[in-house]
Structure 1
Amino acid sequence: MSSSVRHGSSRGQAWFCTTGLPSDVVFEVHDMTFHLHKFPLMSKSLKIHRMLSEQEDQRPTRGRRQRRRQVRSSDGDDDGAAETEIEEEEAEPEQQQVRTEGEGDGQPYCIAFPDFPGGPGTFEAAAKFCYGVRVDLTPWNVAPLRCAAEYLEMTEDHAEDNLAARAEAYLDQAVLRHPGDATKALKSCEELLPLAEDLGIVSRCVEAIAARSSSASRSWFDDLAVLGLRMYKRVMAAMAARGDVRAEARESCLVSYARGTIPGLSRSMRRRLASAPVSSEVEQKELLEAVVASLPADKCSGRVVTAKFLFALLRTAHILRASDAARAALERKAATQLQQAALEDVLIPSYSGTAETLYDVDCVQRIVRYFLAEEELGGEASSSAAIEEEEAVAVARPSAVVMVQVGKLVDNYLAEVASDANLKPAKFCDLALSLPDHARIYDDGVYRAVDIYLKAHPRLTAEERDRVVGVVDCRKLTVEACTHAAQNERLPLRAVLQVLFFEQLQLRRAIAGTLLAPSAGAAPREAAAWRGATALAQDSQVLRLDMDSMASRVQDLERECSSMRRAIKKIDGRGGSGSGSRSPGGRSADGSRPAAGGWRARHGCKFSTQVCDSHARNVVASRASRMGMSP
């Protein structure tokens, strides 16, 4: 073309290309009209060339052909008026797209492309290419231009170095070599179906993404968020079908897509790509269930699909009311990484209208149950695989550490939900006792949760209070916790006495161990022995002071119990005259005094002459019997 050709400019809904010559063909593409010239377009597009060439030989005006004939008048007059007879006939499919504005008056042809792939923007780029204007190919426009070239038949058979060959070369040499560019091209194909599928553009982009997902950097993973659900499923299926794709790469694609497409996935995941489509609630639910279905069947690595991400998915599943199968699958996945979860992760609000509690305690209890089942299976597998005892111990140590971490998490969770006034004692106790004994080195955490629960639920019955307190193992409380429990007015008296007993028992054992330490491991040097003796004397003095303080507290309790005994006798003396079973002096009907243990049985208390006797091991019931809190 000559240098007089200028780029087209948009004027409302019309696009004009000025070359100094009037346009002779008008194209209608969707809601845009393009005023162009037929010869540049015919030189590149076989379809336009064929359509316009056929119309030069015929003049199909609105699908009609007129045929004139002379009709003589009935009286044989040759000068009679001429009549015109119009015969209609159907035009060919391509002829229906072409029409002229006038009949032989020099008006341009008008061609309509209502189903042009890519819309007016793509047609404009294809028209510029026909005029010889440089068209920059990008990952976003290469697929639409390739489909436009196929639609307009702009192939090498019609003209050399045509648009179809240009687009194919750029697609193979640039786009398909980088998964990020292939993702953009795949996104553009969503509006080009089924033509893009027939040309193989979709399948090539999907395979390019799957083949290069492991070797490429992770910077392109965020581009996956622009894909629709259909294309995303195809990419994940292609990655799963390939054996050379690492699991970490699949997990990274999964996490990036979920973060970019599901709004409100987590409190800390508020970033969302501007190019990502905005989905409705139903679409978000479908997206979430697709992401859950794409999770690896085996245990996740934990480096990409973290516990925070899994619990965020679970929280969003509750909000969107996902299917029960999807939520159960997420709960099982979250259980495999429960030891990595933080307190804010497991605080899942109750979104159900029937739930009474603020947080979904039942969900956390199910996750803990799945975790224990997984640990039990893992322990059996490690025991069967271990050949030597040392190897078995080495394998068991990580499991023990994981169990302790989960125990701390559950205790913190109990302390957080304990202040909920609608949390029933049975549900609180079930969650507290769901973990085995070795999950807690000390019971200080669960004691703190119990104390908060008793403070928030002052109207518990005596049986409920005993059951709640019974989840604490007094033998596993530290000195600080024992000191607090001994002065805690919310605890039953029997629990306080048990705490005091075990606190004194711990002090006795500590003193005995300190006294036996010099004889068992005496240092060979006199200086070390002297320093050890000095330290021993100091420790003994501190322990002796603690023993004195403990003895003083025990004496105070005994005096308080004596006062209670005297008060009960006085009450019995005043009210026994009308009962028939007691005399005014407090005796029974036969003259004997009432049994000494009657008031103790009523109040559930037991006292021995020496509370700190280390041989009285039957004072404390087993962990199972503590649930009943029998006297």
Structure 2
Amino acid sequence: MKFMKLGSRPDTFYTNEAVRSVSSEVTSDLIVQVKGSRYLLHKFPLLSKCLRLQRICSESPETLQHQIVQLPDFPGGTEAFELCAKFCYGITITFSAYNIVAARCAAEYLQMTEDVEKGNLVYKLEVFFNSCILHGWRDSIVTLHTTKAFPLWSEDLRITSRCIEAIASKASTHPFKVSLSHSHSRRVRDDVSCNGVEGQRQRPAAKGWWAEDIAELGIDLYWRTMIAIKSDGKIPSNLIGEALQIYASRCLPNISRRIKANIEPAGSNSDSDSASEVTSKSRLLLESIVSLLPSEKGAVSCSFLLKLLKAANILNVSSSSKMELARRVALQVEEARVGDLLIPSLSSSSNTLYDVDIVLIILEQFMLQGQSPPTSPPRSKLGTERRRRSRSAENIDFKLQESRRSSSASHSSKLKVAKIVDGYLRQIAKDINLPLSKFIAVAETIPDFSRLDHDELYRAIDIYLKGINSEVGKKKNNDTRNKICRVLALHMDEILC
């Protein structure tokens, strides 16, 4: 962590009867009120460096003893004002990533610029910020984190944007070329001291070393930082995906438990408002994560996508975010586990245990990806013709072979998905409230040729039939049983072969 010290005089500020003052042989002639606190100070050191105070004092009538200046909207409050005041008195002060934003905003408010005095506070803070803060990894992150207390000031002074640019630039850099000032840096240095420099050079650097650190940011700043990192184009999509998983695991833990607690009757209106606020923040966070997902297939795991989809259902996020997640899951649904697809249904219009509709959308999207296998090219009748084939014709054949492989992989995916679907049917068949139409719709999403056998499907139907014969299911008539038999008939030809 970088520091900057200014001034040489000892700190002589003290408090007397709720009034802050400075020890001096000269009688004070200026009272400054900052957000409820009162300072008894001197005009000369402050007005010589603060153009704003000059103007306020020149516009207000002078009194015999003290001139009063009120600064109710002072950025950074009393701590930031005291830093500026101590700078004016030449008292030793220390700046770091933790207080530079507040000090910079306060100095800008007081107009402590070069127009008033050379080497004024704004100039010194800008030099420290550009030459030290932005060069350090941890310093940049801490500074960016503190900008959330001064959003408008930080934007106007380009503190936020400069920090984000610095972080994005360093994220694509080898960690040994970055001034980390963090636990990661200490780990790396310890490795070097134990194993030697040569041994460290032989080991590849941790490619996603930056993800844990930026996960400390709030969602607004995190989103902007990730957009900058993605725009840089130097970070592979899988590392972007890993970073998003780290952030989601930190910021969206135990969603089901938290929302369940929120759904229960609240003890008071304040509890209800608090629960609603937590849900709204989590919803915004989840939608932001979805918008950051890399477009490349496999950048994040199917399991992670389905966890996001479950959370999206619980948080009732926008339909566009849900559909985007469903589309991405469809691209790699063959990697899913049955348990991942058991997404709780929280719809007030349905009393089923699981959200079957969203799974149907996933499966329909998956089937739309299938391509008809390419036709084989006509074989040459004469060997001489084969020998005289041009290089372009050979390239065409190569592309056709590659296309066949792609089609074969697609069929392999269908076989895997068919097993997942039948396993899913066994689970949802236990739900006595599941409409027959949805049970059949799920069963029919996968074509017959994708099932090597139908044992799992028969077990699922058997479970559903037992549900019909239960006490709750007795209310259903024989038409239901006949419709289920139709599903069996769809596969009868396969059984007889």
State how far apart, in whole Å, the 2-side matches of 1:121 and 1:115 are.
14
1:415 CA displacement: 1.6
Q: Where does structure 1 lack aligned partners over 5 or more consecutive residues?
A: 55-91, 269-277, 475-619, 626-631
- The one-letter code sitting in structure 2 at the alignment partner of 1:326 is S
Q: Name 2:211's counterpart in structure 1.
A: 221
Q: Name 2:228's counterpart in structure 1.
A: 238
Q: Name 1:301's counterpart in structure 2.
A: 298
Identify the match of residue 454 of structure 1 among 458, 465, 476.
465
Q: Where does structure 2 lack aligned partners over 5 or more consecutive residues?
A: 1-5, 176-206, 259-275, 378-394
Residues 1:249 and 1:172: Cα distance change in structure 2 (over 3 Å): farther
1:414 CA displacement: 1.5
Q: Name 1:171's counterpart in structure 2.
A: 129
* Residues 419-450 of structure 1: CA deviation (Å, up to 9, x unaligned): 11111233212212321234333333223322
* Residues 348-372 of structure 1: CA deviation (Å, up to 9, x unaligned): 1111111121111111111111111
Q: Are 1:247 and 2:237 an aligned pair?
A: yes
State how far apart, in whole Å, the 1-side matches of 2:98 and 2:7 are.
30
Identify the match of residue 20 of structure 2 among 15, 19, 28.
15
Residues 1:3 and 1:330: Cα distance change in structure 2 (over 3 Å): closer
* Residues 442-475 of structure 1: CA deviation (Å, up to 9, x unaligned): 333223322322222214655543543554599x
Q: Are 1:440 and 2:451 an aligned pair?
A: yes
Contact residue 47 and residue 54 of structure 2 kept, 8 A? yes
Q: Name 2:284's counterpart in structure 1.
A: 286
Q: Name 2:423's counterpart in structure 1.
A: 412
Higher helix residue share: 2
* Residues 545-577 of structure 1: CA deviation (Å, up to 9, x unaligned): xxxxxxxxxxxxxxxxxxxxxxxxxxxxxxxxx
Residues 1:181 and 1:408: Cα distance change in structure 2 (over 3 Å): farther
Normalising by the residue count of structure 1, what TM-score does the alignment of the two structures yield? 0.57
- Secondary structure of the residue aligned to 1:322 is coil
Percent of aligned positions with the same letter in both sequences? 33
Contact residue 128 and residue 135 of structure 1 kept, 8 A? yes
Contact residue 266 and residue 312 of structure 1 kept, 8 A? no
Contact residue 224 and residue 256 of structure 1 kept, 8 A? no
- Secondary structure of the residue aligned to 2:38 is strand
1:200 CA displacement: 2.4
Task: Write out aligned runs for 1:77-226 (5 A).
Answer: 92=59, 95=60, 103-104=63-64, 107-178=65-136, 180-215=138-173, 218-222=208-212, 224=214
- Secondary structure of the residue aligned to 1:6 is coil
Equivalent residue pairs, number: 421
- The one-letter code sitting in structure 2 at the alignment partner of 1:17 is V
- Secondary structure of the residue aligned to 1:140 is coil
Contact residue 30 and residue 120 of structure 1 kept, 8 A? yes
State how far apart, in whole Å, the 2-side matches of 1:386 and 1:348 are.
45
Q: Are 1:323 and 2:318 an aligned pair?
A: yes
- The one-letter code sitting in structure 2 at the alignment partner of 1:37 is H
Q: Which structure would you say has the larger RCO, counting Cα contacts within 8 Å and 6 or more residues apart?
A: 2
Task: Write out aligned runs for 1:217-616 (5 A).
Answer: 218-222=208-212, 224=214, 227=217, 230-262=220-252, 264-265=254-255, 280-296=278-294, 298-302=295-299, 305-374=300-369, 376-377=370-371, 387=398, 391-392=402-403, 394-458=405-469, 459=474, 464-468=480-484, 471=487
- Secondary structure of the residue aligned to 1:235 is helix
- The one-letter code sitting in structure 2 at the alignment partner of 1:417 is I
1:139 CA displacement: 2.3
Contact residue 142 and residue 170 of structure 1 kept, 8 A? no
Structure 1 outlier segments of 4+, above 6 Å: 1-4, 378-381, 383-386
Q: Name 1:33's counterpart in structure 2.
A: 38
- The one-letter code sitting in structure 2 at the alignment partner of 1:441 is L
Contact residue 143 and residue 189 of structure 1 kept, 8 A? yes
State how far apart, in whole Å, the 1-side matches of 2:459 and 2:304 are.
29
Contact residue 473 and residue 623 of structure 1 kept, 8 A? no
